[in-house]
Amino acid sequence: MTKKLGAILPDLSPLRSSREFRLLWVQGLVTNFGSFMAMIALPLQIKDLTESPLAVGAMGAVELVPLVIFGLYGGALADAVDRRKVILLTEAGLGLLAVILLVNALLPEPLLWPLYVVAAGVSALAGLQRPALDSLMARIVPHDQLTAAAALNALRWQLGAIAGPSLAGLVVAYAGHGPAYGVTILGFAVSVLLCLRLSPAPAAHDAQAPSLRGIVEGARYAWSRPVLLGTYAIDLAAMFFAFPNTVFPFLADDLNAEWSLGLMYAAGSVGSVVLSLTSGWTSRVRRHGLFVVFGAAGWGLAITAAGWFSNIWVVLVCLGFAGAGDMLSGLGRSTIWNQTIPEELRGRLAGIEVLSYSVGPQLGQIRAGTMAGWTGTRPAIWSGGLACLTSVGLLAAVLPKLVTYDSETDEDALRRRAQKEAATATTA
């Protein structure tokens, strides 16, 4: 019984084998919790100040451009400088932005424009930071534990995604926006202290300075690798066609279940957590491209069902399955990226990865909202799910190397493993 349970529960090997991973995992748990507090409090404050859905939606518009620009630049930066410094300085910068939110919230009449400025600043700093964080994983975690590390990181993120918004709603409702921002500041303060304990992660001695040419070089490498191209394309297609979060309030109205809106937003995270908590088996899988394809297809199928059925409890279950599918696809993408991308390009490719999993949902919300205005809410959801299924099938057929990817035979994976073993031997 113990052996069977151990085969299902998350593989904790990365936490045991890597001090740096333990620090980053705890740091991420703390900062994610605080960040989600602010992510809920900020749009709620804009709503309270304006009572305008358009004003709240405009926050996404001001976030998109900084994310694209600084995500790409952050990837080049991560290849050129000490990644620990990038993480530390951006965490400190995010904490300062939270201080601005707190000061503004404590004014007798809080101002609106600083909220948009901070939203853009947070997006820019997140774009700078994520490539450094993502590219560091392949350096600090043993090659055969990368899938387990991805599962643990996803579990950490989902715990914050469930607990942070839930508590934020209560804090804002009963204490106001200021205390929510105060918790965010505290989280970043603890995060900075943990980041100070990280070991340096310097760039290679012959690393290029951040430049447009370097970004283009990374993009060319990604374009030349069908496996990588498949991970980006499938995720973008899945999110563009089947990311219906923006129409959840209207879906709740259609189903005469206004009380269920919070559960709709949480259902996907619950499904992701369930998969993460039973992810022990994923560490023994070598065909990670199948994770990407089947996970994205499962996401599309579940979203189709969520738009088709009219029973609210069935819809919530479907959204939970969608979250599990997205998590499975995410594990495959993260593992392939860390197993195949050479160290000297890790940062720049991580910048492209940031865009692949962040721009898709932004565009998907625009698609869902526009489609809902033409066809109604539920047709916009189930038609998007069907389009997701179709696009995943077509991409899998056009990019067969993604489907046949095997970590034990893929040339890039074998080359990356040898590169890492050589670096480990040199350090020792």
Does residue 425 register a pLDDT over 70? Answer: no
Give the tens place of pLDDT for each residue, 70-112: 988 888 888 888 999 999 999 999 999 999 999 999 999 999 9
User: How much is the pLDDT for 98?
Assistant: 94
Condensed to tens digits (0 to 9), the pLDDT of residues 189-239 reads 999 999 999 998 887 766 677 778 888 888 899 889 999 999 999 999 999
Listed in order, strand segments (DSSP E) in 180-329 are: none
Q: For residue range 3-24, what is the model confidence (pLDDT) as tens digits?
A: 555 566 778 899 999 999 999 9
With a cut of 80, say whether residue 164 has pLDDT above it. no
What is the structure's pLDDT at 244? 86
- Residue 2 binned pLDDT confidence (cut-offs 50, 70, 90): very low
- State the Cα–Cα distance between residues 289 and 266, nearest whole angstrom: 27
- Neighbour-count burial of 328, counting CB atoms closer than 10 A to its CB (0-12 exposed, 13-18 middle, 19+ buried): buried
Express each pLDDT in 284-330 by its tens digit: 888 999 999 999 999 999 999 999 999 999 999 999 999 999 999 99
The radius of gyration of the chain from alpha carbons, rounded to an integer in Å, stands at 21
| Burial category of 249 from C-beta neighbours within 10 Å (exposed 0-12, middle 13-18, buried 19 and up) | middle
Amino acid in position 90: T
**Higher-pLDDT residue of 87, 371:** 87
pLDDT at 134 over 90: no
Residue 424: per-residue pLDDT = 63
